[in-house]
Structure 1
Amino acid sequence: MARRPRSGPVVLAVVALLGGVVGGGVVALIGWWSGWATHESSSTASCSVAPVAERTLPSVVTISAHTSTGSGTGSGVVTRLSGVAGTVIVTNEHVVFPGGATTGAAPQLTLTYADGSTASATLLGADQLTDLAVLRPAADAPKAPAIPIGSSADLRVGDPVIALGAPLGLSSTVTSGIVSATDRYVRVPSDTGAAAHLIDAVQTDAAINPGNSGGALTDCSGRLVGINSAGASPGGESGSSGLGFAIPVDFAVPTARELAANGSVDRPVLGLQVQTVRSSLTDPAAETRLMIEQVEPGGAAQRGGLEAGDVILSVDGSPVHSSDDLVQAQLKATVGDRLKVTVLRDGKQVSTTLTMS
Structure 2
Amino acid sequence: MDVSRARNPRPRARALRTAVPLAALLCCAMPLTGCDAASGAKDPAASASPAQDRRGGAPTVATDLQNAYQQVIKDVLPSVVQIQASQELGSGIVFDGAGHVVTNAHVVGSEKRFQVTTAGSEAPLTATLVSSYPDQDLAVVKLDKLPPGLKAASFGDSKKVDVGQIVLAMGSPLGLSSSVTQGIVSATGRTVSEGGEGQSGGGTGATIAGMVQTSAAINPGNSGGALVNLDGQVIGIPTLAAADPQLGGSAAPGIGFAIPSSTVRTIAEQIVKYGRVVDSGRAALGITGRTVVDADYQPEGVAVAQVSPGGPADRAGIRSGDVVTRLGGTDLTTVTSLSEALAVARPGQRTKVTYTRDGREHTVEVTLGEQ
Q: What TM-score, normalized by structure 1, do the two folds share?
A: 0.79
Distance 2:143 2:79 in 1: 13
**Structure 1: stretches of 5+ with no match in the other structure:** 1-11, 36-41
Please report the RMSD computed on the Cα atoms of aligned residues, expressed in angstroms: 2.7
Q: Deviations over 1:83-142 (max 9, x none)?
A: xx8341110112223xxxx2xxx4331221123434221110112232211011123333
Which of 246, 268, 271 is matched with 2:286 structurally? 271
* Pairing 1:259–2:271 present: yes
* Pairing 1:77–2:98 present: no
Aligned residue runs from structure 1 range 305-344, under 5 A: 305-331=317-343, 337-344=348-355
Distance 1:16 1:136 in 2: 23
Indicate how the Cα distance of structure 1 residues 143 and 240 shifts in structure 2: closer, same or farther if over 3 A, else same.
Answer: farther
Distance 2:252 2:355 in 1: 44
Residue 300 of structure 1, CA deviation: 1.7
**Structure 2: stretches of 5+ with no match in the other structure:** 28-61
Partner SS for 1:275: strand
**1:165–1:172 contact (8 Å) kept in structure 2:** yes
* AA at the equivalent of 1:64: Q
Indicate how the Cα distance of structure 1 residues 339 and 309 shifts in structure 2: closer, same or farther if over 3 A, else same.
Answer: farther
Aligned residue runs from structure 1 range 67-216, under 5 A: 71-80=87-96, 86-97=98-109, 102=110, 106-117=111-122, 118-193=124-199, 195-216=205-226
Distance 2:70 2:107 in 1: 27
Aligned residue runs from structure 1 range 20-31, under 5 A: 20-25=9-14, 27-31=16-20
Residue 348 of structure 1, CA deviation: 4.3
Q: Deviations over 1:226-269 (max 9, x none)?
A: 01112122232545721211111111221122233344435564
**1:26–1:191 contact (8 Å) kept in structure 2:** no
Partner SS for 2:193: strand
Partner SS for 1:55: helix
**2:3–2:243 contact (8 Å) kept in structure 1:** yes
**2:174–2:220 contact (8 Å) kept in structure 1:** yes
Show the counterpart of 1:225: 235
Judge which range, 175-184 or 308-317, deviates more.
Answer: 308-317
Indicate how the Cα distance of structure 1 residues 43 and 314 shifts in structure 2: closer, same or farther if over 3 A, else same.
Answer: farther
Distance 1:318 1:252 in 2: 27
Residue 331 of structure 1, CA deviation: 4.9
Residue 330 of structure 1, CA deviation: 4.5
Partner SS for 1:210: coil
Distance 2:319 2:158 in 1: 38
Distance 2:320 2:197 in 1: 32
Partner SS for 1:242: strand
Indicate how the Cα distance of structure 1 residues 251 and 355 shifts in structure 2: closer, same or farther if over 3 A, else same.
Answer: same
Show the counterpart of 2:257: 245
**1:312–1:341 contact (8 Å) kept in structure 2:** no
Larger Rg: 2
Distance 1:186 1:19 in 2: 20
**1:22–1:210 contact (8 Å) kept in structure 2:** no
**1:120–1:141 contact (8 Å) kept in structure 2:** no
Distance 1:333 1:252 in 2: 18
**1:26–1:190 contact (8 Å) kept in structure 2:** no
* AA at the equivalent of 1:32: P
* Pairing 1:53–2:69 present: no
Count of paired positions: 320
* AA at the equivalent of 1:169: G
Tell me: higher relative CO, structure 1 or 2? Use CA pairs within 8 A at least 6 residues apart.
Answer: 1
* AA at the equivalent of 1:276: T
Indicate how the Cα distance of structure 1 residues 156 and 137 shifts in structure 2: closer, same or farther if over 3 A, else same.
Answer: same
